[in-house]
Structure 1
Amino acid sequence: MTLLPEEEQELISIIRTTRMKKRQFLDQPGFVSGYRNYVVRGAFRSFFVDNDGKDHTVQIAIDDWFVSDFYSYITQTPATLFVEALEDSVIFQMKYDDIEGLCARSHNMSEYFRITTERAFAYSRKRALSNISKTAEERYLEFLEQYPGIVQRVPQKVVASYLGMSAEFLSKIRAQLAGKP
């Protein structure tokens, strides 16, 4: 999608560049996610903690991806997820109200943000279906194929949590795959 020069300038005017340190939280449960965050450089994970204290990773985001508690952001209700930097990172942040204003004034902006939101939903749906229809090994192989650079940047326990398994089980899968001819 091509923006007009004045639309480009309007978009640039609402962007705030933020540096995040490893282990710093972008979103936390109980607080409304007020920003759409674009990862310029770095890695993040979105996760929730269940009643037993176990965390479950629902999103991993690296360079050129958006990250936040999207439900909180879209509905402007308190977050249920933690969003944590896994590396020292740089993000572009855009306030909810600023984006809504841009979208009200510009059809091109509205289309851009609609398309990015639809893509995020589509990937989320694909992942949910994969989690209920594929074996752990199939999920891991699919993950490697779709996101080859992530496993070098993200701790194995985060990848395992994202795939719905323990780090120990993921280790077994990796060992089995390494031993296959």
Structure 2
Amino acid sequence: MSIYKGILDNIARYVKLTDDEINEFTSILKTTRIKKRQFVIQPGFVSEYRNYIVEGAVRVFYLDDLGKEHTVSIGIEDWFFTDFHSYLNRTPAEYYAEALEDSLILQMKYEDVEELCSRIHPLCQYFRLYIERALSYSNTRVISNISKTSEERYWEYVNKYPQIANRIPQYVLASYLGISPESISRIRSRS
């Protein structure tokens, strides 16, 4: 059960599940190891799983028509990731999800989560609360991107998430913040 400790602790921060509900939930989890630079999601294929990171780091990014990468999320241990539009609407993904490190993830099929949520109210409540918090964070990020300078965005991220900023490549952080890697180098040199 130790591989499930992180996700069960995450759930327990929001709701209480009975032992039977925990057993039902863990029965739908698929354990997957992914290597650094391996893709978990690719455009054109439906994102079948909601993924939880047990160990490692993953980024989700979009590739524009000019071939430029735009990182939309970065996750480490105790974070979820997927192409949520694809996952929820059962349509082809538009994003890539790539391991930044060798990683261990737990995968939950859409149909399995929906079926369990129809029967286990606290689990449904957990996923709702988690998504609401993610949406709130996303909205805060949009406001930050349109109202703050690149230097302010950099320091805000580094101060809030030092455990991520110190682990990921500079070009990934730059892509996520919407600035160039050279700008990050200049910002760092001024500190």
> What TM-score do you get using the length of structure 2 for normalisation?
0.91
Give the aligned residue type for 2:105.
Answer: I
- Spell out, residue by residue over 1:36-59, the C-alpha distance to the aligned partner (whole angstroms, 9 max, x if none): 100000001100111111101010
Aligned residue pairs total: 177
Q: CA deviation at 1:123?
A: 1.2
Structure 1 outlier segments of 4+, above 3 Å: none
Match of 2:22 in 1: 8
Q: CA deviation at 1:68?
A: 1.0
Local SS of the residue matching 2:151 = helix
**Alignment of structure 1 residues 52-131 onto 2, 5 Å:** 52-131=66-145
Q: CA deviation at 1:12?
A: 0.6
- Spell out, residue by residue over 1:22-76, the C-alpha distance to the aligned partner (whole angstroms, 9 max, x if none): 0000111111101010000000110011111110101000000001111111111
Alignment RMSD (CA, Å): 0.8
Q: CA deviation at 1:137?
A: 0.7
Over the matched positions of the two proteins, sequence identity in percent amounts to 56
Distance 1:160 1:59 in 2: 12
- Spell out, residue by residue over 1:85-107, the C-alpha distance to the aligned partner (whole angstroms, 9 max, x if none): 00000000010000000000111
**Alignment of structure 1 residues 145-156 onto 2, 5 Å:** 145-156=159-170
Match of 1:37 in 2: 51
Give the aligned residue type for 2:162.
Answer: P
> What TM-score do you get using the length of structure 1 for normalisation?
0.96
Match of 2:153 in 1: 139
Structure 2 alignment gaps of length 5 or more:
1-14
